[in-house]
């Protein structure tokens, strides 16, 4: 009996041992699977991390992210002038337009500051993003200096709808502040208006007596200034006081123009046309060492119904190589100023009404005021030699 019990105990113990071994075998593979899964997950995560970071660092981050950041910075720089305190630097078209907008809206004060170009600027409105130019005012530019630093503004285009008013047309429309403009070239400007006081650089110097305007080393080339000339018997929509640099200085401000050039240009207007300045007040100007070359002055004063405008030799004094003098029409309407180093070459004056083409300024002199007709009071100036009739199909109007 005892032996039977022993056998039974041994069998039970053996079964328990087998069960225990089996249990251990099942658990171990389960643990191994878990470990493998974790390892797999870790490996996968590590692989994914490597895949995410390595290409971004070497390619995407290097090529894409910096480009995006740089582009944003460049865009901001392109639209906002660089403010260095007393100097405002402008190097792109968008910066120039932003500057103009702030001036016109009186948003920022630039008085006593230097506005300096750092690059050539193309304002051609046919370019992508281009637009017409709105002439500046000077309320925010008292005693400012616009310094081109030898750079060029190309393709400035102004039409009648671009004007704030019709009293001054140019890069600056109305200048009622002391201002200096220097070391700048305007090329291929196109101004098409029917308003008075037109010039490529300044339309009209006006208002405050005692202000000064200085132009130094300013060049205008390939300018077309299509001022209104009117038609026979109708002078509405005309432009008068038209100049290559400045249209008019008629409010006793002082202007000084030195070492400036107007060349290869065509000006059209009713009367008071000058290669440099259309019209200025006697005693308020000083012009030295300037050049007018290959310039056409087309005037149409003969369209007036006034008797004094009906004599070609008389109205010829409305066009001058350099400038006309506002208050000297009765004696002579020119100051033919060559004594101060001013010179001209290949100047053509065209009388629109009478179809007369005058080559250079032969026979026209401040020292020869002509004779007054006793009955009509009209002053007759000496006939000009070599005058010719220029057919209308050869003219640009």
For 180-220, give the DSSP string: EEEEEEEES-EEEE-SSSEESSEEEE-S-TT-EEEEEEEEE
| CA dihedral sign of residues 98, 100, 102, 108 | positive
| Confidence (pLDDT) at 30 | 40
CB 242 within 8 A of CB 267: yes
Question: What would the pLDDT profile of 66-120 be if each residue is shown by its tens digit?
Answer: 343 333 333 445 689 999 999 999 999 999 999 999 999 999 999 999 999 999 9
| Confidence (pLDDT) at 28 | 42
- For the chain, the domains span 2-63, 87-394
Residue predicted with more confidence, 168 or 3 = 168
pLDDT(217) > 90: yes
For 38-86, give the DSSP string: HHHHHHHHHHHHHHHHHHIIIIIHHHTHHHHHHHHHHHHHHHS-EE-SS
Report the 10 Å Cβ neighbour count for 389: 10
Torsional class of 14: left (φ above 0), alpha (ψ -120 to 50), beta (otherwise):
alpha
Least Cα distance to 204 among 153, 279, 276 occurs for 279
Give start and end residues of each alpha helix (H) in the chain: 2-55, 61-63, 65-79, 93-104, 312-315
| Confidence (pLDDT) at 64 | 38
| CA dihedral sign of residues 99, 104, 105, 111 | positive
| Confidence (pLDDT) at 223 | 98
CA distance 128 to 386: 48
| Confidence (pLDDT) at 388 | 43
Question: Structure pTM?
Answer: 0.74
CB 198 within 8 A of CB 160: no
pLDDT(190) > 90: yes
| Confidence (pLDDT) at 221 | 98
Least Cα distance to 319 among 352, 367, 278, 365 occurs for 278
pLDDT(277) > 70: yes
Question: What would the pLDDT profile of 120-175 be if each residue is shown by its tens digit?
Answer: 999 999 999 899 999 999 999 999 999 999 999 999 999 999 998 878 999 999 99
| Confidence (pLDDT) at 338 | 79
Least Cα distance to 210 among 301, 119, 143 occurs for 143
| Confidence (pLDDT) at 29 | 39
């Amino acid at each position: 009996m005892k032996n039977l019990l022993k056998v039974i105990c041994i069998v039970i113990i053996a079964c328990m041992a087998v069960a225990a071994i089996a249990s251990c075998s099942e658990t171990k593979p389960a643990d191994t699977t878990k470990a493998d899964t974790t390892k797999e997950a870790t490996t996968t995560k590590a692989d994914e991390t490597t895949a995410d970071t390595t290409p971004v660092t070497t390619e995407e981050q290097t090529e894409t992210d910096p480009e995006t950041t740089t582009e944003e910075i460049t865009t901001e720089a392109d639209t906002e002038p660089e403010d260095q305190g007393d100097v405002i630097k402008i190097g792109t078209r968008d910066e120039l337009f932003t500057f103009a907008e702030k001036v016109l809206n009186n948003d920022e004060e630039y008085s006593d500051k230097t506005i300096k170009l750092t690059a050539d600027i193309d304002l051609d409105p046919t370019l992508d993003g281009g637009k017409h130019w709105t002439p500046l005012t000077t309320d925010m530019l008292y005693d400012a200096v616009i310094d081109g630093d030898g750079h060029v503004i190309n393709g400035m285009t102004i039409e009648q709808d671009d004007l704030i008013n019709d009293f001054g047309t140019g890069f600056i429309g109305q200048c009622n502040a002391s201002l200096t403009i220097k070391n700048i070239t305007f090329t291929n400007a196109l101004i098409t208006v029917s308003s008075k006081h037109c010039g490529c650089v300044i339309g009209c110097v006006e208002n405050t007596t005692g202000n000064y305007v200085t132009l130094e080393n300013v060049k205008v080339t390939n300018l077309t200034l299509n001022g209104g000339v009117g038609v026979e018997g109708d002078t509405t929509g005309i432009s008068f006081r038209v100049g290559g640099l400045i249209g008019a200085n008629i409010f006793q401000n002082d202007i000084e123009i030195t070492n400036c050039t107007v060349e290869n240009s065509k000006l059209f207007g009713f009367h008071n046309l000058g290669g440099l300045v259309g019209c200025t007040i006697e005693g308020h100007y000083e012009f030295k060492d300037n050049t007018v070359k290959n310039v056409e002055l087309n005037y149409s004063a003969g369209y007036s119904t006034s008797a004094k405008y009906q004599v070609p030799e008389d109205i010829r004094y409305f066009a001058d190589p350099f400038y006309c003098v506002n208050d000297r029409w009765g004696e002579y309407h020119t100051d033919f100023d060559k004594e101060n180093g001013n010179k001209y070459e290949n100047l053509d004056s065209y009388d629109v009404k009478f179809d007369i083409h005058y080559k250079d300024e032969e026979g026209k002199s401040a020292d020869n005021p002509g004779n007054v007709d006793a009955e009509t009071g009209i002053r007759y100036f000496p006939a000009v030699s070599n005058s010719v009739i220029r057919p209308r199909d050869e003219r640009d109007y």
